[in-house]
Amino acid sequence: MNVIEAILKPTDRWQDTIRGRLRVFALDLVNNGKRVDQVPVFSGAPRAQELVDPRQDYSGSLRPIPEGIYKIGQPEEHPQGDWGPGIGRLWIPLEVLPEYRVNNRGDFGIHLDSNFATSPGSAGCPVAQKMPTLQTILGWLFAKARPKWLVVDHGQGLLKARGYQYLNFARNPAGVAGKPWLRYPINNTRRAWLDLIAWAEGTGKHPGEEQYRVMFTHKLFSGYADHPRQIQGSGRLRSDAAGRYQFLSTTWDEAKRALGLPSFSPECQDQAALWLIDKKRGALNLIDSGIQIESALNRLSWEWASLPPGRYGQPVRTYAECVQFIRSWQFGVLD
């Protein structure tokens, strides 16, 4: 199945205009993680080009379109245009998804900046300076496999907070630009289960990125080149488990081979955990359902000893605790 995405990201390039400088944004068409086309666009008004957390943005700020995910509507004709704000005769509506509507700014649209020469920029809409740019975007939308969503990524943290990851041609684990890496997308539900495993295993008590560097007995390792492969002891127990999801080195090697993972980085650890959930324990469809929590726990408890009902004689979390954890995520308590 092809995953077609439109991704809008800021660049470090600027264009001088009669009203001030405008940042150049790159609008990419991405197919299964590989960029297949790119056009430059502008967004926001000159002197209002600051990129902020959308939760701190507000109506009338004239800043660039806020970070988030937008549904791309069908292009609409506007025969008369609206020459005041520079909207030409064509409008491509963008409707922000509810979970990313975190301020009182309205919806946006992609259009031609018809009065760029005299009043460049926009009130936030992504705009094309020239007609060929808009025609290229229209070509994407009228193709057989069209992008249905626009991912706006300014690096301000909202996408991460909502647990969303997209296939990124520029950041595949091997670092090979243009080479797709078909990984498991991580939505809110999957992030909740990854957090549950870390919480149950005890690594979740560590702050931030440190969770990915925890070994058995909570000692920390340094560097992500590979699994540390260091046996640690506590009482009569000995283990080389490491990482946020406490991978044994043998388990890690299995996932690493299956996914072609080049390192033990946090991103690769997330993918390996999802691979274990999916391919080794057959529980990905259960967690994706959002309701089959006990069934998923029964399967995953064979992989993670801390999950109920407990398979290996070690301390475990209860079903009630785990259900409450997942429900809290689903209802936004932990968001």
* Percent residues over pLDDT 90 in the chain: 59
Helix (H, G, I), strand (E, B), or coil: what is residue 75?
A: coil
| Residues forming a β-bridge with 112 | 128
In this prediction, residue 137 carries a pLDDT of: 97
Give the pLDDT of residue 145: 81
pLDDT of 218 > 90? The answer is yes
pLDDT at residue 304 in the model:
97
The pLDDT value given to residue 79: 59
Predicted pLDDT of residue 32: 62
Q: Determine phi and psi for 12, rounding to 5 degrees.
A: -95, 15
Give the CATH class of 188-331: mainly alpha
State the residue for tokens 């070994």: 215
The domain spans of the chain are 4-166, 188-331
The pLDDT of residue 161 is above 80: no
CA–CA gap between residue 108 and residue 66 (Å, rounded): 10
CATH of domain 4-166: 2.40.440.10
Q: Is the pLDDT of residue 168 over 90?
A: no
Is 201 designated active site? yes
User: Counting Cβ atoms within 10 Å, is residue 134 exposed (0-12), middle (13-18) or buried (19+)?
Assistant: buried
* Res 240: pLDDT: 96
More confident residue, 1 or 321: 321
Per-residue pLDDT tens digits for 33-57: 678 899 999 999 999 999 999 999 9
pLDDT at residue 181 in the model: 46
pLDDT of residue 50: 96
Tell whether the model's pLDDT for residue 177 goes beyond 50. no
Whether 72 shows a pLDDT value over 90: the answer reads: yes
Across the chain, what does the average pLDDT equal? 86
Share of the chain above pLDDT 70, in %: 87
Residue 28 has pLDDT above 70, yes or no: yes
Maximum Cα interatomic distance, the chain, rounded to a whole number of Å? 79
For range 93-100, the mean pLDDT: 86
Contact 22, 49 (CB under 8 A): yes
7 bridge partner residues: 28, 151
Q: Which residue has the higher pLDDT, 204 or 82?
A: 204
Angle at which helices 293-300 and 319-330 pack, to 10 degrees? 120
**289 or 134: whose pLDDT is higher?**
134
The string of pLDDT tens digits covering residues 245-264 is 999 999 999 998 888 788 89
Neighbouring-strand partners of residue 4: 31
Catalytic member of 5, 67, 201, 303:
201
Tell me what the mean pLDDT of segment 131-136 comes to.
Answer: 95
Over residues 325-335, the pLDDT tens digits come to 988 876 654 43
Q: So what's the pLDDT on residue 206?
A: 96
- pLDDT over threshold 50, residue 167: no
pLDDT average, residue stretch 151-162: 80
Instruction: Please state the separation of Cα 286 from the chain's center in Å.
Output: 21
DSSP letter assigned to residue 314: S
Report the pLDDT averaged over residues 78-105.
Answer: 78
The amino acid present at 99, given as its one-letter code, is: E
Work out whether strand 76-77 and strand 87-96 pair parallel, antiparallel, or are unpaired.
antiparallel
Lowest mean pLDDT among 155-159, 177-181, 196-200, 204-208: 177-181
Q: What distance in Å separates the CA atoms of residue 229 and residue 295, rounded to the nearest whole number?
A: 32
